[in-house]
Amino acid sequence: MGIIVQKFGGTSVGTIERILNVAERIREEKERGNEVVVVVSAMGKTTDQLVNMAKQISQQPNKREMDMLLSTGEQVTISLLAMALNQMNLPAVSFTGWQAGILTEAVHGNARISNINTEAIQKQLSEGTIVIVAGFQGITEDGEITTLGRGGSDTTAVALAAALKAEKCDIYTDVPGVFTTDPRYVKNARKLLSVSYDEMLELANLGAGVLHPRAVEFAKNYNVRLEVRSSMEKVDGTVIEGEAKMEQNLVVRGVAFEDEITKVTVLGLRNNLTSLSTIFTTLAQHHINVDIIIQSTTEDGTTNLSFSIHTNDWMETLNVLENNKDYLGYEQLDAENKLAKVSIVGSGMISNPGVAAKMFEVLAEQGILVKMVSTSEIKVSAVVEDKNMLNAVQALHEAFELGQHQ
Amino acid sequence: MGIIVQKFGGTSVGTIERILNVAERIREEKERGNEVVVVVSAMGKTTDQLVNMAKQISQQPNKREMDMLLSTGEQVTISLLAMALNQMNLPAVSFTGWQAGILTEAVHGNARISNINTEAIQKQLSEGTIVIVAGFQGITEDGEITTLGRGGSDTTAVALAAALKAEKCDIYTDVPGVFTTDPRYVKNARKLLSVSYDEMLELANLGAGVLHPRAVEFAKNYNVRLEVRSSMEKVDGTVIEGEAKMEQNLVVRGVAFEDEITKVTVLGLRNNLTSLSTIFTTLAQHHINVDIIIQSTTEDGTTNLSFSIHTNDWMETLNVLENNKDYLGYEQLDAENKLAKVSIVGSGMISNPGVAAKMFEVLAEQGILVKMVSTSEIKVSAVVEDKNMLNAVQALHEAFELGQHQ
């Protein structure tokens, strides 16, 4: 008998009926003899509705008050779910972030968990009570309510699993696991039985979307065994742990992709030691995330720099660079929209130098021009025009034999 | 410069537009140089919607979880109102019940405030910040979220005014004050400029509805100066304080009324010293509130007992009495529904013995049969058939010359 942490996302608890369905899943886990801690998100579109109310008051609502507002969403879900379990004669108690002892740093909107005081949860578990914890929220040392930002409920679940030394952490979602690529676009995409933390990090970062990278990182650091599984169907999901147990012989494990990428090019950058760090520090100060970075130095000693950003940040990036033109010291700016990133991911890649070559060969065969390239130990990414994205994904999925075996 | 507590009810904060309107009222008070503490309820029908969700899960939802659920309603309002004030460059901070230091006894659904630790509020006020407190909620010593039951936000406001030694407590509502009777039913009902705590208690208890009796009692005990006023129109309201200053010569100050009353009669009650207390203790254990009680002893030594309850409690009352028939020792039960209570209220009544007589005379002239009577120092109540209620109210309002002077 051990502790199991179960996390159910907003879609899984989107209606009263689904909350009752979730209560059944919890009952099953409890009846297996486990101590159960459940983390839930706000119901369906609740968070969007709350944000919408705030935006009617202010385009930039006070961040402390935003956390106060948003944290009510999860509080509604935990109470309803605890009611449902009590109605089924399963003793259950709901805890807000602060009641669960989830301490965070003093940052509103995007706080990191600094510590979890599990005393209150342990006490309830020892009495056989199921503990339902509000995801996405915590409290500072000064008693201020904070939220954890995007993917916050995943992070809450993993952090609790780590703090409670749980056997595993099950992330229930609206898809049955992690796939070789998005099954909505590639028909014979296959569910992976297991992936490593690093592979999951790349897949999550690259838009697979089922699990937030912060949560995967947390799980990796504390060696928490994760399983992504369906809240609707009762089938095995995808296990995420130190080493992927199955399919070790496969070099490429999945194809990830995302669109709405913009490539920004800075031409004629003054070539000195600090020019690069100055540019990216300036962008970071404006909370602009930069992904791929490519630098080339011409014969006359000036540097051209290209980097990719989310298209949402395009206008602000150009504004920031233009406003700092003298300080940054460059000649000209250029930007290209309507791009997408396609990546192949797999732990085995490091020992297979031919993988990148094969990727470019496949793309060339499809007549797809590669605009930027980025490689890491477990992935190769290519930026292409977004109209070619799905074509590239399908061709790569086929070429690396990721589809279901017939 | 003193501390002013303002309370805005659910209707006053029912939409974003109304919240912005409330923010304006707060600004005016702040600009008069006062330190301002604001207590708000949940927006409009929010509480009903939350209750409705809970009822879809369980007809008798777990009370602890119900408090967890309902307390989110006020938390939404406080954050939105604080955003609105910050947007107007008025520093404001929102506090949940527990952040405001509102300690309650450990009872869910209907807790009483046991103490208020005003330290956090005082600190904010001393920095010139407006403090917005969630009404209706508190926390137990063990860190459990509680709610205060009906009229809870009024009670929060009055308790804060008492704890902070505020100059006054303004209760903003959707009516402009306390009237001689309900102006929806009696055209020439007149707004009272001031009433005493005791008069207000009777008026509130008897269904005037603008202020909860618990809050009035609290105000009386701590001598908090209250004013009931409109959140829409900028006009003087009704001041509630120790002695009504104006209109002292008027014996009857108002006519109150409520319907949905049931009269329960217990026939042939065993006549011993404890029979009455046994019956009412048993009902109290089932949280059934009894209003008027009439007892008569027949010549053969048995007692007949009648009492009035809210019609909502009718079935449960009969169940409780029937299940305890042997223990309580009576012969027969009887119940009459579709009754209403009409009351005349006024501090001057105690020295005017003819007032009750005049009331019965007026009712007799209208051909209205009186089913039960109850008197106190400042009111006389008569239970009549509910179809006669408004007729009785209008006739009494006229007879005691309560209408507007033409």
Give me the residue from B19, B86, B99 closest to A143, CB to CB: B99
Is A76's CB within 8 Å of B72's CB? yes
Q: Indicate which of B19, B43, B77, B83 best probes the interface with A, i.e. most A CBs within 10 Å of its own CB.
A: B83
- H or E stretch including B92? strand B92-95
> CA nearest A54 in B: which residue?
B80
Pairwise CA distance, residues A321 & A302, whole Å: 18
Give me the residue from A58, A71, A99 closest to B87, CB to CB: A58
Residues in A closer than 8 angstroms to B145, CB to CB, are 96
* Rounded (10°) CA dihedral B258, B262, B268, B269: -70
Residue A121 touches partner B, C-beta closer than 8 Å: no
CATH superfamily, domain B255-399, is: VC0802-like (3.30.2130.10)
Give me the residue from A50, A65, A71 closest to B86, CB to CB: A65
More confident residue, A77 or A198: A77
Is A99's CB within 8 Å of B143's CB? yes
Residue A140 touches partner B, C-beta closer than 8 Å: no
Residue B54 touches partner A, C-beta closer than 8 Å: yes
A123-127, A200-204, B146-150: least confident range? A200-204
Would you state the structure tokens that stand for residue B222, as one six-digit string?
A: 């701590």
Check whether B379 has a pLDDT greater than 80.
yes
DSSP letters spanning A262-319: EEEEEEEE--STTHHHHHHHHHHHTT--EEEEEEEE-TTS-EEEEEEEEGGGHHHHHH
DSSP letters spanning A171-184: EEESSSS-BSS-TT
Provide the 3-class DSSP secondary structure of residue B297. Answer: strand
Q: How far is CA B205 from the centre of its chain?
A: 6
Cα angle A95, A96, A101 (rounded to 5 degrees) comes to 80
Residue A301 touches partner B, C-beta closer than 8 Å: no
Place of tokens 């005349």: B344
Residue B221 burial (C-beta neighbours within 10 Å; 0-12, 13-18, 19+): exposed
The pLDDT of residue A303 is 82
Cα angle A73, A144, B16 (rounded to 5 degrees) comes to 50
Other C-beta atoms closer than 10 Å to the C-beta of A172 total: 24
Residues in A closer than 8 angstroms to B66, CB to CB, are 79, 83
* Mean of pLDDT values over B159-173: 96
Would you state the structure tokens that stand for residue A296, as one six-digit string?
A: 């080339």
Check whether B46 has a pLDDT greater than 50.
yes
Residue B115 distance to chain A (closest CA, Å) = 19
The pLDDT of residue B299 is 74
Residue B145 touches partner A, C-beta closer than 8 Å: yes
| Cβ pair B69, B54 in contact under 8 A | yes
Is A83's CB within 8 Å of B57's CB? yes
Q: Indicate which of A22, A71, A80 best probes the interface with B, i.e. most B CBs within 10 Å of its own CB.
A: A80
Closest CA to A372 of A303, A276, A295: A295
Cα angle A139, A140, A143 (rounded to 5 degrees) comes to 75
Q: Could you tell me which residues come within 8 angstroms of residue A75 by beta carbon, excluding any fewer than 6 positions away? A: A94, A96, A134, B68, B69, B71, B72, B75
Residue A80 touches partner B, C-beta closer than 8 Å: yes
The pLDDT of residue A357 is 87
More confident residue, B403 or A18: A18
* Mean of pLDDT values over B95-103: 97
Other C-beta atoms closer than 10 Å to the C-beta of B18 total: 17
| Cβ pair B153, B5 in contact under 8 A | no
The pLDDT of residue A87 is 97
Residues in A closer than 8 angstroms to B79, CB to CB, are 54, 65-66, 68-69
Closest CA to B348 of B155, B198, B150, B136: B198
* Mean of pLDDT values over A134-151: 94
Q: Indicate which of B80, B90, B133, B146 best probes the interface with A, i.e. most A CBs within 10 Å of its own CB.
A: B80
Is A16's CB within 8 Å of B53's CB? yes
Pairwise CA distance, residues A238 & A180, whole Å: 11
The pLDDT of residue B95 is 98
Is B78's CB within 8 Å of A68's CB? yes
> CA nearest A68 in B: which residue?
B79
Pairwise CA distance, residues B253 & B397, whole Å: 9
Q: Could you tell me which residues come within 8 angstroms of residue A374 by beta carbon, excluding any fewer than 6 positions away? A: A291, A292, A380, A381
Is A75's CB within 8 Å of B86's CB? no
- H or E stretch including B95? strand B92-95
> Which amino acid is residue A23, in one-letter code?
A
* Mean of pLDDT values over B117-142: 97
ipTM above 0.90, yes or no: no
Residue A211 touches partner B, C-beta closer than 8 Å: no
CATH superfamily, domain A3-244, is: Acetylglutamate kinase-like (3.40.1160.10)
The pLDDT of residue A185 is 86
Interface of A with B in 60-79 (CB under 8 A): 61-62, 64-66, 68-69, 71-72, 75-76, 78-79
Give the residues across from B5 on adjacent strands: B37, B169
**A207 pLDDT band (50/70/90 cuts)?**
very low
Residue A374 touches partner B, C-beta closer than 8 Å: no
Would you state the structure tokens that stand for residue A146, as one six-digit string?
A: 């904070």
| Cβ pair B169, B226 in contact under 8 A | yes
Give me the residue from B54, B64, B76 closest to A69, CB to CB: B76
Check whether A75 has a pLDDT greater than 90.
yes
* Mean of pLDDT values over B383-406: 89
Residue B200 distance to chain A (closest CA, Å) = 35
Pairing state between β A303-310 and A372-376: unpaired
Please write down the long-range contacts of B87-91, taking CB distance under 8 Å and 24 or more positions apart. B87/A57, B87/A58, B87/A61, B87/A62, B88/B23, B88/B27, B90/B23, B90/B26, B90/B27, B90/B30, B90/B130, B91/B127, B91/B128, B91/B129, B91/B130
**B207 pLDDT band (50/70/90 cuts)?**
very low
CATH topology classification for B3-174: Carbamate kinase (3.40.1160)
Burial A22-60 (b: 16+ CB within 10 A, else e): bbebbbebbeeebbbbbbbbbbbebbeebbebbebbbee
Residue A58 touches partner B, C-beta closer than 8 Å: yes
> CA nearest A93 in B: which residue?
B65
Give me the residue from A54, A65, A94 closest to B65, CB to CB: A94
End-to-end CA distance of chain A: give it in Å, rounded: 39
Place of tokens 């009617």: A56
DSSP secondary structure code for residue A111 in this structure: P
More confident residue, B177 or A159: A159
The pLDDT of residue B211 is 84
The pLDDT of residue B43 is 96
Residue A22 touches partner B, C-beta closer than 8 Å: no
Provide the 3-class DSSP secondary structure of residue B227. Answer: strand
Interface of B with A in 215-274 (CB under 8 A): none
Residue A346 burial (C-beta neighbours within 10 Å; 0-12, 13-18, 19+): buried
| Cβ pair B186, B393 in contact under 8 A | yes
Order of strands across the sheet that contains A254-269 = A290-297, A303-310, A254-269, A332-345, A379-385, A372-376
| Cβ pair B290, B309 in contact under 8 A | yes
Show me where the domains of chain A are located. Answer: 3-244, 255-399
Give the residues across from A115 on adjacent strands: A103
Is B75's CB within 8 Å of A78's CB? no
How far, CA to CA in Å, does A186 sit from each of A135, A403, B329?
Answer: 32, 9, 78
| Cβ pair A192, A177 in contact under 8 A | yes
> CA nearest B86 in A: which residue?
A62
| Cβ pair A32, A66 in contact under 8 A | no
Is A66's CB within 8 Å of B79's CB? yes
How big is chain A by its Cα radius of gyration, in Å? 23
Residues in A closer than 8 angstroms to B93, CB to CB, are 64
Residue B233 distance to chain A (closest CA, Å) = 22
Check whether B201 has a pLDDT greater than 90.
no
Cα dihedral across residues B315, B316, B317, B321: positive or negative: positive
| Cβ pair A67, A146 in contact under 8 A | yes
Q: List pLDDT tens digits, range A282-325.
A: 888 888 888 898 888 777 777 888 999 999 899 999 999 999 88
Pairwise CA distance, residues A264 & A57, whole Å: 35
Give me the residue from A50, A54, A76 closest to B69, CB to CB: A76
The pLDDT of residue A250 is 66
| Cβ pair A256, A345 in contact under 8 A | yes
* Rounded (10°) CA dihedral B43, B44, B47, B50: -90
Place of tokens 């405030």: B113
> Ranked by mean pLDDT, which of A69-78, A256-265, A283-292 comes out on top?
A69-78
Pairwise CA distance, residues B16 & B269, whole Å: 57
Give the residues across from A102 on adjacent strands: A116
Check whether A85 has a pLDDT greater than 90.
yes
Pairwise CA distance, residues B77 & B84, whole Å: 11
Is A83's CB within 8 Å of B93's CB? no
Cα dihedral across residues B282, B283, B285, B290: positive or negative: negative
DSSP secondary structure code for residue A204 in this structure: I
Residue B280 distance to chain A (closest CA, Å) = 30
Give me the residue from A72, A76, A83 closest to B58, CB to CB: A83
Pairwise CA distance, residues B114 & B140, whole Å: 9
DSSP secondary structure code for residue A141 in this structure: T
The pLDDT of residue A47 is 93
Residue B57 touches partner A, C-beta closer than 8 Å: yes
Residue A75 distance to chain B (closest CA, Å) = 7
Residue B83 touches partner A, C-beta closer than 8 Å: yes
Pairwise CA distance, residues A107 & A113, whole Å: 10
Residues in A closer than 8 angstroms to B69, CB to CB, are 75-76, 79-80, 83
| Cβ pair B196, B250 in contact under 8 A | no
Residue A10 distance to chain B (closest CA, Å) = 16
Residue A134 touches partner B, C-beta closer than 8 Å: no
> CA nearest A61 in B: which residue?
B83
Q: List pLDDT tens digits, range A358-399.
A: 999 999 999 999 999 988 888 899 999 999 999 999 999 999
| Cβ pair A195, A238 in contact under 8 A | yes
